[in-house]
Amino acid sequence: MIDCSWLSAAPSSVSGALDTKTGHFESDARDGQIHAYPPDAPPKTLAAARPFIHADDLPTLDAAFADSERAGGSCKVEYRLAASNAGADPRQERWVALEATVVRDADGRPAQLLGVTRDITQRKRAEKALAERNLQLALAGKFALVGTFAFDIGSGRLQVSPGYAVMHGLPEETEETSRAGWRTRVYPDDLSDVEAGFHQALAERRHEHYCEYRIVRSGGEVRWIDSRSFIFYDRNGTTPRLVGANIDVTQRKLTKAALAENQASLADALVAGQVMAFEWDALTRQSRRSDNAALILGDDEGGVTGSPRNEFLGRIHADDRQTFRSRMRELCPGNPSYVLSFRFCCRDGRQVWLEEAAKGEFDATGRLLRIKGLTRDITERKRAELALEERNVQLALAGKAARVGSYAYSLDADVMQVSEGYAALHGLPEGTAETTRSEWRARTHPEDLVRVEELHTRAIRERLSEYEIEYRIFRSEGEIRWIESRSFISYAPDGSPRRVVGVNIDVTERRRAEDQQRVLVAELDHRVKNVLATVSAIVTQTQDAGSSLVDFVAALDRRIKSLARTHELLSQSRWSGVSLAEIARREFAPYAADNVEIGGPSVTLKAEAAQAMAMVLHELTTNAAKYGAFSDRNGRVLLRWRLLANGSHGRLAVEWQEIGGPPVLAPSQSGYGTAIIRELIPFELGGTVELAFADDGVRCRMEIPAEWVSRSRPPGKEFKGLTSAQAFPRD
């Protein structure tokens, strides 16, 4: 075995020894600092050291020691320190990793347990932070219809999230697909444009790429995809890699509603790195390493076999080698130690990341004698850091594209950690990473705050893991926005709530669309009822015991067509009103040759007035065609209107006059048409009607109150008058 007494040179690793027969325990000063042993009275037995270990982890530690003694090998175990230790922060758990080896006596029985301890609190915190980011990303993916992917152009492979697989209709649990498979799903009309845009982005060395396209799922369903990607390039500028997000924007394409994000879970959690010990002799330039070096470095030699330091240096990645050499040259009695990270090329072809912490020993003249230290495999940590960075980019991208923001807070604190999307959503300054729940309450609409907090309290009381709610917030500029909040609550083993992680989605546009839809449905319902009532009245009043079925059908058809023509005009104007001149043209069109003259100022009638006027003009033209001016080739109809002045409050006067037709006889009894002419405008609009059956032709004067009329053109640009040829031009 190597002498391990020098291991205190490493900043976060220490050593200790346990006599398995006597229970006597010894450790160096650094171990005492990690475990917060009293400096003047450190524990001398394993029993005395046990109170410094978290009670829940003692069984695990005991089992590891027992297995090691029984098997006669090494053990690795991680445990927490007791919160009551002097020097330990009671608000934050501290973690320690122990690696120990059994030393046997001459009879082969376990005599000592030699070990190395490391403070791994920072790693554990990083794992926790990564897990929370993972959860935030999964929530965003679940609720916002977002899927992520990583595409390696060289291999053509795509690593995809569960959300991506669901979105593209891939089999469940799909984690990898190909670019070729993706091409088969893209809508044929979109593929060439998408490919051209992608190749252009690469040619211009862009770092971001955006496109929208359609895909066809296995069942034939067509979905719209919003794809946003970051392009990563190697140091030499080749082999670009894409990391991005796909967002299903089908609903936005159809209804302009807010998107939701479906994100994927992260890769495997961060794993603790292996550690090896080494000693390099500056005189012989030979190195010695612990037995587990072969597992880390991929060497075939045993741990005690010497190897030149130069060989180790030659296998350090070329980009990191100069930095390593510089740190070695800087070693001196005034600067005896170093800590650095670098890449290492193993003999078995692997490339690993190593973190080396070491200390030099010097003679009286200051000459370097040897270097002792620890080298740790941090490859998994580096991969986790890269994964965390990519996930953060994906989360920020999803928040930016889909107006989604994430947040997290502990229930025993007021501080909230928020994403960039959350800050933008709530109108917080750019770059805001933390806010408080008190500030959130101040932003929440007073009418919604009690309801939101009651739901939060009930969710905790009933130990719900998830809950969702919609509420309003005030942004800094006073704008009101609707927020859909979805939260996940984590609980401690004793059932007490510990932390809340969630997402906020801006659903303002969706709420506005829903409100507008309700108004439109109510308005449509009202208008349909009015139309049906009008049609019902027309059918009832058109019935005449003295007429035939053919006459009844013809009269009913004419009146309903007149109503339809008016509705067509109103629909074209979005029910904002119709020009009186246009109503007249439509009603006169079937009868006009050179026998009509219309004229008056350009005025617009509101929807209700337009319907009433159209029905009255229809009955007047129908009567003229049967008995009046339109039934004789010498007959003419004059239709004039004007806005009255001199105390009439802007009422509209409309005058109908027939001339040149056959002699007029007043009807012996009033029918439906006459009733419409005389009664509809007074009843519906509050106007007046004077109908006269004069010998030389029917005359009718109508007055409509000003509230039903508006001027279509300013004074001086009025509609004066048209003859039949002008009003009804022929092809």
What does the pLDDT read at residue 419?
A: 85
Going by pLDDT thresholds of 50, 70 and 90, the confidence category of residue 135 is low
Adjacency order of strands within the sheet including 404-410: 434-436, 415-418, 404-410, 497-506, 480-491, 466-474
Strand runs labelled E in 12-63: 13-19, 25-27
What does the pLDDT read at residue 4?
A: 36
203 Cβ neighbours under 8 A, 6+ residues apart: none
Q: CA 596, CA 586: separation in Å to the nearest integer? A: 13
State the average pLDDT over residues 180-195: 91
Cβ atoms of residues 104 and 111 within 8 Å:
yes
pLDDT reading at 617 higher than 70: yes
More confident residue, 585 or 522: 585
State the average pLDDT over residues 179-189: 91
What does the pLDDT read at residue 666?
A: 82
What does the pLDDT read at residue 436?
A: 93
pLDDT reading at 519 higher than 70: no
Q: CA 639, CA 643: separation in Å to the nearest integer? A: 14
Q: CA 381, CA 383: separation in Å to the nearest integer? A: 5
What does the pLDDT read at residue 196?
A: 93
Cβ atoms of residues 682 and 689 within 8 Å:
yes
88: how many CB neighbours lie within 10 A of its CB?
17
pLDDT tens, residue by residue, 282-318? 888 888 877 777 777 776 544 444 555 567 888 888 8
How big, in percent rounded to 5, are the helix, strand and coil portions of the chain? 40, 30, 30
Angle at 720 between CA 714 and CA 723, to 5 degrees: 150
Closest CA to 147 of 5, 254, 247: 247
Architecture of domain 404-506: 2-Layer Sandwich (3.30)
pLDDT reading at 592 higher than 80: no
281: how many CB neighbours lie within 10 A of its CB?
14
Q: What percent of the chain has pLDDT over 70?
A: 78
**Segment of 245-249, 513-517, 718-722 carrying the highest mean pLDDT:** 245-249
What does the pLDDT read at residue 520?
A: 61
More confident residue, 227 or 10: 227
CATH H-level superfamily of 544-727: Histidine kinase-like ATPase, C-terminal domain (3.30.565.10)
The β-bridge relationship of strands 596-599 and 697-704 is unpaired
Closest CA to 596 of 661, 548, 644: 661
Going by pLDDT thresholds of 50, 70 and 90, the confidence category of residue 608 is confident
Q: Residue 13 pairs with which residues in a beta bridge?
A: 118
Closest CA to 700 of 644, 616, 626: 616
Q: Which residue has the tokens 């009607």?
A: 689
DSSP 495: S
What does the pLDDT read at residue 129?
A: 81
Closest CA to 120 of 362, 295, 332, 376: 376
Cβ atoms of residues 226 and 401 within 8 Å:
yes
Going by pLDDT thresholds of 50, 70 and 90, the confidence category of residue 536 is low
Q: What is the 3-state secondary structure (H, E, C) of 608-655?
A: HHHHHHHHHHHHHHHHHHHCCHHHCCCCEEEEEEEECCCCCCCCEEEE
More confident residue, 593 or 700: 700
Cβ atoms of residues 629 and 595 within 8 Å:
yes
Q: Residue 25 pairs with which residues in a beta bridge?
A: 18
More confident residue, 573 or 92: 92
Q: How far is CA 478 from the centre of its chain?
A: 23
Q: CA 192, CA 183: separation in Å to the nearest integer? A: 10
CATH H-level superfamily of 5-119: PAS domain (3.30.450.20)
State the average pLDDT for the chain. 79
What does the pLDDT read at residue 648?
A: 64
Q: What percent of the chain has pLDDT over 90?
A: 17
Q: Residue 653 pairs with which residues in a beta bridge?
A: 642, 703
More confident residue, 719 or 519: 519
| Total count of residues recorded for the chain | 731
State the average pLDDT over residues 368-393: 82
State the average pLDDT over residues 437-465: 92
Residue type, 624: A
State the average pLDDT over residues 468-489: 89
More confident residue, 329 or 399: 329
Q: CA 331, CA 89: separation in Å to the nearest integer? A: 35
275-377, what's its fold? Beta-Lactamase (3.30.450)
Q: What are phi and psi of 190, to 5 degrees?
A: -100, -20
pLDDT tens, residue by residue, 620-659? 888 888 888 888 888 899 999 999 877 667 799 999 999 9
What does the pLDDT read at residue 14?
A: 47
Mapped onto helix, strand or coil, the DSSP state of residue 507 is: coil
What does the pLDDT read at residue 444?
A: 92
pLDDT reading at 5 higher than 50: no
Q: CA 264, CA 162: separation in Å to the nearest integer? A: 6
Token pair in block for residue 609: 């007035």
Token pair in block for residue 519: 């108004």
Cβ atoms of residues 467 and 455 within 8 Å:
yes
Parse the chain into domains and list their residue ranges.
Answer: 5-119, 131-255, 275-377, 404-506, 544-727
DSSP 168: T
pLDDT tens, residue by residue, 234-276? 777 665 788 888 888 888 787 763 333 333 332 232 223 467 7
5-119 and 275-377 in the same fold:
yes
Mapped onto helix, strand or coil, the DSSP state of residue 280 is: strand
Burial class (CB in 10 A: 0-12, 13-18, 19+), 353: buried
What does the pLDDT read at residue 730?
A: 45
Q: CA 642, CA 651: separation in Å to the nearest integer? A: 9
More confident residue, 365 or 277: 365
Going by pLDDT thresholds of 50, 70 and 90, the confidence category of residue 412 is confident
**What count of Cα atoms within 13 Å lies in the side-chain half-sphere of residue 359?**
12
Q: Which residue has the tokens 């005030």?
A: 474
131-255, what's its fold? Beta-Lactamase (3.30.450)
pLDDT tens, residue by residue, 84-119? 754 545 557 889 888 888 888 777 777 777 888 888
What is the reported pTM?
Answer: 0.32
DSSP 486: E
pLDDT tens, residue by residue, 9-49? 334 444 677 777 777 878 787 887 888 888 888 888 888 88
Q: CA 565, CA 581: separation in Å to the nearest integer? A: 14
Closest CA to 44 of 14, 23, 21: 23
pLDDT tens, residue by residue, 338-365? 988 898 888 877 888 888 889 999 999 9
550 Cβ neighbours under 8 A, 6+ residues apart: none
520: how many CB neighbours lie within 10 A of its CB?
10
Per-residue burial over 127-136, b = 16 or more CB atoms within 10 Å of its CB, e = otherwise: beebebbbbb
Strand runs labelled E in 233-367: 241-248, 275-281, 286-289, 307-308, 337-345, 351-362
